[in-house]
Amino acid sequence: MDFLVTAIAVLSLVAVLAGIAVVVRRLLDLRFGVVRTLLAGMLVLAAGGPLMQSMIAGVDPEDPGLGPLWILLLGTVCALLAGMVFLVVAEALVPPGSLPGPLELVRGLRGRLARSRRYLAITRILVRHGLGPYLRGRDPDLGAPGSRARLARSLREALDDAGVTFVKLGQILSTRGDLLPPEFVEELRLLQDRVAAAPWAEIEPVLVAETGGPVAETFAEFAREPLAAASIAQVHRARLATGEEVVVKVRRPGIAAVVEQDLDIVARLARSLERRTRWGRAVGVGDLSRGFAEALREELDFRVEAANMAAVAAASAGGPVRIPAPRPELSGRRVLVMERLDGVPLGGAVPDGVDRQELARTLFETLLRQIVVHGVFHADPHPGNIMLLSDGRPALLDFGSVGRLDGALREALQRLLAAMDRGDPLGVADALLEVVARPDEIDERELERALGRFMARHLAPGATPDAQMFGHLFRIVAAHGLSVPPEVAAVFRALGTAEGTLARLAPGFDVVAEARAFSARHLAERGEVAGIREAATREALALLPMLRRLPRRIERIAGAAEHGRFGVNVRLLADERDRRHLTGLLHQALLTVLAATTGIMAVLLLGTDGGPAVTPDLGLLDLIGYSLLVVSSILGLRVLVVIFSSGR
């Protein structure tokens, strides 16, 4: 019996709270979270009892008129008004999403504790290597070469101790000579992504799960000792039942969770550096960390790499650079099976007798052709991802990061290259504004002058190109408020990485001269008779439907003008979004006027003496004034809650 009474009481309380939530949401015309709605309902119930008692204290229960009922209704609305005030204040002080909900807090508590421990561990590593002051906002002292070298060495040692994600970050930064001083670039190049190989007992279950069967059934021969071991994956030599020699890339078990945890640390550190330091804001470490996280997550999924490999191979078909062929039927998220190539990595010693200049020219032209012609390119061509085969041909490896460009961007880049080759700042500015996202307001004359100074510095005859060229171009783009799309940023990043790689392979290699030569050859190829005929055919086919309709439209316009019926109709607010926005503004203005009007009327009535008495202590004018004051409060709260929630 007690249980039944308790259950009925709980159900009644839930029903009352649900009714209060419905009424409050209807009055404020906005949905609120469960927790704050529950708190508002409890506040309404808590305030309702004392408020009712105080308001009906002077009411005669035997009064047959509408006064007691009116006072009871007014007390109920005043109790609801307390809950509405709470919701509006909560909306202003604690917007939705600013604090985690209870369920989210419980679910993420273990992850937050793990991330906090890892964050403390990374902080201890940085402090141990002397980088603590820079975390507290001190800008690095890069004035003297000796101080730069010491800071670079400390950074490299800290990244090496921090693990896989930070080693990868250092390797990427080692190719960004446009962002870092030479001492940092040289020091970070010493980072090696080599760790002890995972035991076969951990690797075999991954292979079985991804290939769908025992290793002996899938491979005729499989070497348990890896050819190379890195922090994310290790590579094994194998042979298929068909006799084909392959290499098998296997992701380390549990590495995905470690990387996600470390990426959260990298994002936190980037936000802290960008907020507290001038050099962090100048470099844009926030954007760098987000791009790095996206690239590393793709690198963890070998299915993405297999698709990238096939796309780049199709774009490079018939060229001088080899791309290993993947075996998608044997590959998965954690395993990648590909053709085995015989050669040595370009990051090591280049064999004697190799024409370094010709090899650099081949690699650079291949990258430009992938970008400009095919729109699918290797976005991370550092020395470790390039192999020199035994037959002297280069090969590209590791396709975890691949960029893609649509036709419009490729044509704009082609015009950009052609304008640079001509030394035309106006043409470069026009092409650049097609490549990047153009703002509403821009000083095109100043942009042309800045590009002219850039070309005079880096592209003039006798100028020596270096990695700073791409950094200078990025600074020009940022200084004029131009937003670089991610796919275009990948192009500049790939070109900057390739410049650093080719400088190591063939010192003195002139990327500007080679880019100009490629541009001339490409324009010559496009300028052939067949190319002109093909381009003209495409344009004619695109214009043909419009040309067929044009005579009839001209005839109708001429006839209307001849008979005096020609006119132009312009519809204001034709877009539904514009009408909704204007309607919302009018509603808010009307509610504000009504709230102010009812508030003024309430104050006037409350200050007026006389009138019939509803109770011995309350007159009719006072009761109407209090009612109008409640209405004014509700309307005002409705306006405020819309203002505070406008960003939701």
Active site residues: 380
Separation of alpha carbons 397 and 344, rounded Å: 12
Write the DSSP string, 487-511.
HHHHHHHHHHHHHHHHHHHSTT--H
Separation of alpha carbons 144 and 137, rounded Å: 20
8 A C-beta contact, residue 84 and residue 634: yes
Beta-carbon contacts of residue 141 (< 8 Å; ≥ 6 apart) = 147, 151
Token pair 């400009």 is at which residue?
372
CA 270 to chain CA centroid, Å, is: 14
Taken as a whole, the chain contains a residue count of: 648
Token pair 């799309």 is at which residue?
485
Alpha carbon separation from 260 to 110, 115, 122, 294 (Å, rounded): 14, 10, 14, 11
8 A C-beta contact, residue 3 and residue 32: no
Both tokens of 50, joined, read: 């004392």
8 A C-beta contact, residue 99 and residue 36: no
3-state SS, residue 343 = strand
* Secondary structure element (H or E) that encloses residue 303, with its range: helix 302-315
* Secondary structure element (H or E) that encloses residue 225, with its range: none
Q: How many CA atoms lie within 13 A of 97 on its CB side?
A: 3
